[in-house]
Chains A and B, each alone.
Chain A
Amino acid sequence: MSHTDIERPGTSADVSAGEALLVEPSRLSPTRRALTTVLRSRELSIFLVLVAVVVLATTKNNSFLFSADGWRNFLLNPSILLLLAVGQAVVIITRNVDLSVGSTMALTAYLTGRLFIEQPNLPIVVVLAACLLMGAVLGLVNGVLVAYGKVPALVITLGTLYIYRGIMLTWAGSDRINAGDLPREFLSLGTKTVVGVPVLTIIAVVVLAVVGYYLHTARGGRELYAIGSDPDAAVLYGLPVRRRLLAAFVLSGALAGLAGALYTARYGTVSSSVGSGIELQAVAAAVIGGIAIFGGSGTVWGAAIGAFLLITINRALPSLGIEDFWQRAVVGVLILGAIVLDRILARRQARKLAESRDHA
């Protein structure tokens, strides 16, 4: 049991790389370790599903990927859900959930239109910043209520889902924002591409990279995982739980705010139903991407691939000869498959850990 045990069974030869990674990662060389981590990750398996869907759809219909439009839509359509899924992933990792993102997005989508109507010459950056700020404030409200009220996030964000949507509808009245109200360069932001990659996708991927890097390496990011694994232990260990929760909700709100602005840029119209129901899609993307609903595990990379998969399936089904009405059923099966798979993998991992402990 102790470290002085010299006769440790299974030194490299009779233990698979996967098991070594689980039991004692330092036994593997860094390259091998990184390789095994990637090969055994949930992210890779969901990525392979995505690739399979794309390949299948492309063989049936060449223009799915290889036309200018197909390529652009492949990258552009998921970008808004991707932003929401990243924010949602961070919140779920802390064992909370944010159901208000759809309403937050609706509010900032309307704010974008309103700002351009009042001040047509406003620089785009200012509008994006205003949306980020507004989203952050709305997220802060959620965060304060959850962190200081000690109330489950599900209830709080269900409440703010109604409140934010109500505020948006009251503010908008019977107004609609139309493409004519928006400056041309802002609308072109929604479809513009830089060397074949849409600008919205670049924004989403940059956000993803920053958040992903932070979660993977920074102290604050690791603490989010610690809080999600065991909130009580995190408090006992002296982690700044409240501050981290606030940060997670502010991030989720801010990203939803940004998503609202990008939605307006992409579609040019804002009606009263913008973003309704998208909160459950964001949760679904995170769950499909391997984020456990009880927190503490998963990565934003997975959530991002999940978002891509959800949107791509929607576009691929008609090419595969299935009416796109069935898209949601397919998504449902995917979600159920993902959580059942998670359970099977977790069981196997627990069994292996127990075995290696009994051996030692």
Chain B
Amino acid sequence: MSTATATPARTYSSYSAPLWKRWLVTRETAVIVLTAAVILYSLANVPNFDGPLTLKFLLQDIAPILLIALPMTLVIITGEIDLSVASIMGLSSVLLGVLHDAGMSVPAAALLALLAGLVCGALNGFLIAYVGLPSLAVTIGTLALFRGIAVGLLGTTAITDFTEKWADLATGTIGDSRIPLVMIPFAVLAVGFVVLLHFSTFGRGVYEIGLNDEAAHFTGVNVARTKMVLFLLSGVVSALAGIYFTLRYGSARGDNATGYELQVIAAVLLGGVSIFGGRGRLHGVLAGVVLIGVLSSALRLESVTVNVTNIIVGLLLVASVILPSVLGWAGSRLPRKASAAPAGPRPDKDAATADV
């Protein structure tokens, strides 16, 4: 047993990969590189992709998805899911229209629509965090409920008489650049969410809940409150996206943004967030949203129809989750190469074999 005492002290760093590896060899990097490759390829080969309007429309199209992807990432990292986001968008859109029609100014109506989003999020959050119901079932229910209220309020009519000023604001760009104005609130929110998730105790709690919510509870994370806050954020941001959507197209309808929930979730999962929770980062998610946006924009310019885009997005989504398993399986089948073993010494293994 003397060999056991001779093993070097086990330190954390002897187990971990080098820092550069941990920073660069990640799912997020893969998505970002893929996105950059698609952008470069499109710039070189797709006619008009570098045109002045492409970037503007691209960003305007993906803005709602970018916005909602922020809270959705946090929600999925806790191991929950929110399917009701598109319905909240629809509801806030209808409320904005109805209240504006009743003579309210756009900012006042928008404020009330945001408040409604908060209430929607509170309902989700209460049922999931405090009653303890499964989020998949709850948000399928509220998906129908919120959409039902939106459609019930407006029927099949649309409200289109928004003041020119506000519509211009939603479609305008920053100065003479090609960046739409909506990117300003998005950038502010994105910074906020990055700080919240990656640089705060709250964010550590979010990861911990996703990995093991009981363990998180015992280390002092307020699990219920964290989930409640996330669903509130999800509700408010979805309402904001709904307001933007309404003003951009100048039309408040009950069926606005139908099906967006699946697009948001697809983008988030493509960005490397694990559906089991506990894993994922915001920069990967944002790259995932941009990737889908660039792909559809470039394919549209190549006059490839939206159908093919659907197929490509679906394939990317399936491939992104299936590849790790396939690689692991292939790796286990291949004869063990020398390079496959870690370069550094593995004291734990040596010690174990010595003991036996």
Which A residues touch B206, using CB under 8 A?
none
Would A329 and B149 count as touching, CB distance under 8 A?
yes
Would B140 and A166 count as touching, CB distance under 8 A?
no
Would A162 and B152 count as touching, CB distance under 8 A?
no
Which B residues touch A162, using CB under 8 A?
266, 310-311, 313-314, 317
Residue of B nearest to A335 (CB): B141
- How many A-B contacts if CB must be within 8 Å? 154
* Among A159, A294, A340: residue with most chain B CB under 10 A: A159
Given A167-B311, A169-B305, the answer on whether A329 and B148 have CB atoms closer than 8 Å is yes
Would A335 and B148 count as touching, CB distance under 8 A?
no
Would A293 and B136 count as touching, CB distance under 8 A?
yes
Would A170 and B145 count as touching, CB distance under 8 A?
no
Which B residues touch A151, using CB under 8 A?
321-322, 325
8 Å CB interface, B76-90 against A: 81, 83
Would B137 and A335 count as touching, CB distance under 8 A?
yes
Nearest CB in chain A: distance from B7 CB, A? 34
A210 within 8 A of B: no
B215 within 8 A of A: no
Which A residues touch B312, using CB under 8 A?
166
Nearest CB in chain A: distance from B351 CB, A? 30
Nearest CB in chain B: distance from A231 CB, A? 13
A 122-150 binary contact with B (CB < 8 Å = 1; else 0): 00000000000000000000000100111
A165 within 8 A of B: yes
CA distance A284 to B139 in the complex (A): 11
Would A332 and B143 count as touching, CB distance under 8 A?
yes
Given A150-B325, A154-B275, A277-B259, the answer on whether A343 and B133 have CB atoms closer than 8 Å is yes
Would A158 and B317 count as touching, CB distance under 8 A?
yes
A336 within 8 A of B: yes
Which B residues touch A325, using CB under 8 A?
148, 151-152, 154-156, 254
CA distance A149 to B156 in the complex (A): 43
Name 5 extra pairs, CB < 8 A, besides A156-B322, A159-B318: A149-B322, A152-B275, A158-B266, A276-B259, A277-B258
List, sorted by A's number, 23 A–B pairs whose CB atoms are closer than 8 Å: A149-B326, A152-B275, A155-B275, A162-B310, A162-B314, A163-B311, A166-B310, A169-B305, A169-B307, A283-B140, A293-B134, A323-B152, A325-B156, A326-B152, A328-B145, A328-B151, A329-B148, A329-B149, A329-B152, A332-B142, A332-B144, A333-B145, A336-B138
